[in-house]
Structure 1
Amino acid sequence: MKEDNCLHAALICLGMLYYSHAVTTEKLNHTRPSLHGHHEKGKEGQILHRSKRGWVWNQFFVIEEYTGPDPVLVGRLHSDIDSGDGNIKYILSGEGAGIIFVIDDKSGNIHATKTLDREERAQYTLTAQAVDRNTNRPLEPPSEFIVKVQDINDNPPEFLHENYHANVPERSNVGTSVIQVTASDADDPTYGNSAKLVYSILEGQPYFSVEAQTGIIRTALPNMDREAKEEYHVVIQAKDMGGHMGGLSGTTKVTITLTDVNDNPPKFPQSVYQMSVSEAAVPGEEVGRVKAKDPDIGENGLVAYSIIDGDGVDMFEITTDYETQEGVVKLKKLLDFETKKSYSLKVEAANVHIDPNYIFEVQENAASGTVVGKVHAKDPDAANSAIRYSIDRHTDLERYFTINADDGNIKTIKALDREEIAWHNISVFAVEVHKQHQEAKVPVAIKVVDVNDNAPKFAAAYEAFVCENARSNQQFITISADDKDDSANGPRFIFSLPPEIIHNPNFTLRDNRDNTASVLVRREGFSRQKQDLYFLPIVISDGGLPPMSSTNTLTIRVCGCDSNGSLLSCNAEAYILNAGLSTGALIAILACIVILLVIVVLFVTLKRQKKEPLIVFEEEDVRENIITYDDEGGGEEDTEAFDIATLQNPDGINGFIPRKDIKPEYQYMPRPGLRPAPNSVDVDDFINTRIQEADNDPTAPPYDSIQIYGYEGRGSVAGSLSSLESATTDSDLDYDYLQNWGPRFKKLADLYGSKDTFDDDS
């Protein structure tokens, strides 16, 4: 079965190769259609001709910008009457024939001899004809065909303008249309994606976005403020191939300017102005001027002044100088110093032109549910349909406000913080209840009125330095303050020392009355050795009603300075060392320290390199240990076996070391055929002597120990201790003597207190 499958697959592959060879034209990577007539064979080889003869045409294509080494094959002309004997001649005429397109008159193959550009010419119309080579008699009627130049992506998108300029009002809603940029691509829009463009934004996020298909630029952030940034530079890219990798691209620059909206009311830089006027002044005489600042421009920044309250309303008037945008206070009536010495006026500055339809105010920190204002819309039709109101949530993403759908009342949802957002610009929709497609939209500007809820603080993290040789009343630092509140509740700042240290002996403070203060030295001479750091509390108050204040601590460091007051060192420790030791002494001390460190390092290194003992005694108490000396040496001829007698035996002091581990020698003749009887008396004496010596020897091993002396040496009467059960009867050894050693050693062990036992084979 496997062989059949393999054969079947091989036949299929051969068939595919044959088909591929048949349809592949020379050196062309695209299959070209042939133009030919058709004929069919009938039964018994009879030729059956179709009723309509001639060419069967398909459109020819040639790829543009072909740069191969050989002319590119466009296609092939072939007639059904061509038997291949060379009698038929193919002729090509028409646009580019003989110049751009050439034909092999025998095979009918058409080649393009030049590189073609679709953007210059997209197609060519040619005429084909087959004639008799000898007589030039037409064999087929002439027929036209078209060669289309196939497009490749060889043209990048191009914008209509290199630079665009556009305007959009500040604080516009998200999605507001700014401008549309358009690019074109010279490639064929009907073939592939070579001319399919996609727009994207390269620079200008997150302020703006662009629609990928249309190129329309829209605002992407709410409440863009012209006063914060007026001009934006945006770069838009157009990329063909549908924006996919490999596509060509082009870019353009768009300059977007935020146009001004009257979203800032005029503000006075200070809350209180003081003016003086002589009682001899005549009506109409100028008393003083005030000026409110409005960051808006053009007509949105025009300001008009008026007196709205005060006990001097009847005595003074204010006019507007439109050239300088100042309010000019003038005298209206004569003054009498003895009658009244001072007057107060409350002056309002207001914009001449109001841009938003609705401007409301609400105090910061106001409770949730506080009414902000009310909008109103009406149906101009006679029906006067009911209106429902809603807030465009794109303009109130954080949901600070809500609106009553029926009456248009706007309320706060949560407390507002002016220091976070000073103005809220929202949009309100008005929709007819019965005709919801009838809709109107109105902008609403809500100003958050400042409350003095922030105390002033140091403008920076100050750290002051004072010289040891400082002079009295010498200034060494100037400080300033910041306040997050509005200017009416902020400056002017008042600097002072706390009452408890107003008579500080070291430092004093001078308020410069320009929102800054100077710190001065009160006494002469400081010493780093006695005290190198001082902390000076400073109270800062703002000009709000009621005022707020905070205590800020100034860190003052005592430093060494030269005679010109230039800073040398602020290190107290270095001062102490330098005061007590000379340079040479310091060098010597440092050298000694280095040498000691080197010695310590060497000592530790050498100590770690010492070899550890082979046996580590973890405990000093060696009770109940078994000390075994199993040294058998070289057999009976060994005379150098271990001698336990050398272990601090008193007998060995004078050089005489008796052999106490063997039976004393004795003379007897063994009886033939019998084992000699053991000399029990001598063995008893031997054991008793050992016991006595062990009991009286202070250098003997500790109690509860067992000493085993397995000694074999030359001339041993005991022979081999491991062969007591030998069947040999020819030995001269006294086995009865050896068999009595086991019980005697057992007795010896019992005397030493060991719990181990010995058998007779020991």
Structure 2
Amino acid sequence: MKNLPIWLTVLLELSLLWPCALCMNFIKSVTLQYSSPNHTRVKRGWQWEPLYVLEEQPITQPIYIGQLKSDSDKEDGSVRYILSGEGAGTIFIMDGHTGRIFVLKKLDREEKPFYTLRAQAINSLTGVHVETESEFVIKILDINDNEPTFINGPYIAEVPEMSPIGTSVIQVTAVDRDDPTNGNHARLVYSIIQGQPQFSIEIKSGIIRVASQIDRETKDQYHIIVLVQDMIGNLGALSATASVTINVSDINDNAPKFQLKTYDMSIIESASIGEIVGVVLADDVDTGKNAEIVYSIEDRGDFDVFSISTDNITQEGIITLKKVVDFEKRNRRYHIQVRAENKYRSDLYDLTTIRVTVVDVDEPPVFLKKEYYMDVLENATVGSHVGSVTAKDPDSASSIIRYGIVQNKYSRFFDICKNGSIMTSQPLDTETHPWHNITITATEAQNPALVSEVQVYIQVIDVNDHPPELQNEYNIYVCEKTKAGQQVQTISAMDKDPVFNHRFYFMLHPEEASNENFTLIDNSDNTATILALRNGYSLSENPVFYLSIIISDNGVPSLSSTSTLTLQVCDCGMNNNVESCINRGFLWNFFNSGAFIAISVFTTLLLALAVIVHIKCKKSPIHFSEKGEDLKENIVKYDDEGGGEEDTEAYDITGLRHQTVMRENKRKRNIRTDIQSMYRLSLGLGPDVAIFKEFLSEKLEEANADPCGFAPDSLHTYSYEGTGSISGSLSSLETSSWEMNVY
């Protein structure tokens, strides 16, 4: 029933071609065939034999490989065959009348092992399918045309030496492209053609195994050649070979070996500790870590004189000197036994004996000490003995030793004598140089090239020559609200003398015995505390207090010093915190006190008074000077007895006048015409004494009554010697003269 739609389509197409009656009869018969449930269909089908093609077969013309045929084919030409599918028409062709199939080309099974094709059988006249389309396969038969091939080559393997027989080393694998189901074309067998008897191989699996004992020290690498064949090695088999490199790895199975059983070495007696004596080497035929060696000296013989260490790079044993050797004092040959042991197996070792000979040399002098420590007082006089150094010639023939000092900045303070005694050459001061480091040399007199040196450390012992003093310059503040017994300040001292355990003592100066304000308490720890003795202090009444203290030390002899501390009274605010005073300073306290207010008021009054005086001076006339007579900071003395007009030439008073002073108009006074001025008197006869006294009195009264006149720093001396001289001489030779000094 499934092919019914196909048949109906074919019949519909035929109806268009054939006469109508014939079409209808054919359709009716077909319809009855499929529709009648009681109709029995006659079995028909394809007939063909298996189809095979041998690969790699040369073809010059089509080769018959088989035939497809319907059992309904009467071989009368009524059935036509059609071939389709893989290779149809190009590789395979079919005879449409007979169904015979031919191959046209040479085939390769390894490229394509079979081909799938389809065949149809139709009526030659109607084109109707006689048989349903059928699918069939043409197989390509295999021939042994491919040789085996190794994969993952070349092969490299490793096996430890002394491995047990049968130990697996590596597996080699080969493949064959031929058909494994067709005979023995792809059945492989393995064999070794090079590498026996050390190794063997399993013929089917290709596993290589150890066949006999192998030793890396004998041979550390093997090259194996493996043969593989198909067809189980029968006639016509194909084969291939592969190379296998097998490296033999080392195991720690060999002990180190010394090259010699006895070694002879030598060392000079002047060699220092740590100097190399010699080198030994033990060989280990193993490799890598298995060949690492550790050297040691056996606990016998002179083992404590030498030491040995291992050089990890060269694997050598380095022997060094552990103790100083002396040709003159001890055995001149030493014997030690050295052990070379495998680092990871203590049972693998070797021993050797080393003989060390000490060689005598001419050695420089040797000081009895490696270094010297001395001390000297800083007040030691020049030439004082500090200490001595001693050096000896270590050789059997003792030589004379000469001493010297290596020049440096400290050597100028000291000299050294022939016997090694060190003396001072300059005054010392511990405060400047508390230590002097000098280098002393010892030289053999017979061989100046042999010189030894030693360090001498000289400490200058301090002598108490500096009195103690205050540690700091203290700014001490006392709050106004301080209570009696309250701590004001803690002070400490210092001393320039470099003494480690200084002890300072504090006390008040004897003049402070009656001090009712403050006292001093020694805390016995190089500090002292100032305590208040009364309640409350006043910044306005007494802003500053002074306290004298004495500080002494415990030196020998004991020294002391006196210091005066200044204690400033401060308004510490509501919290009575002295820190606020420290931050503000003394000027703040002064400006914040009553003293500042008093000074301010006084200054204001002075300024007001100065203004008043200035105003009054501007309003009052100046009565002190007359006719340009000025009083200057000079002493004018008239005592010349010269005569007449020559006096005016000798004393030119124009230089004493202030030419720039502007005189105010003065009220005219009634003055005697015979007494007008000093200038007039110098030109004529002088008045009598009474008149002159009256004139001076008036001038003095004017000066005292003038508030704007300043007291001049001049002294005018007027001497009158009476009458009788026409020139008015002012000579002081007469006893009847009088003087009046005006300041």
The structure having more radius of gyration, on CA atoms, is 2
TM tier, smaller: 0.3 to 0.5
TM-score, normalising length: structure 2: 0.40
TM-score, normalising length: structure 1: 0.39
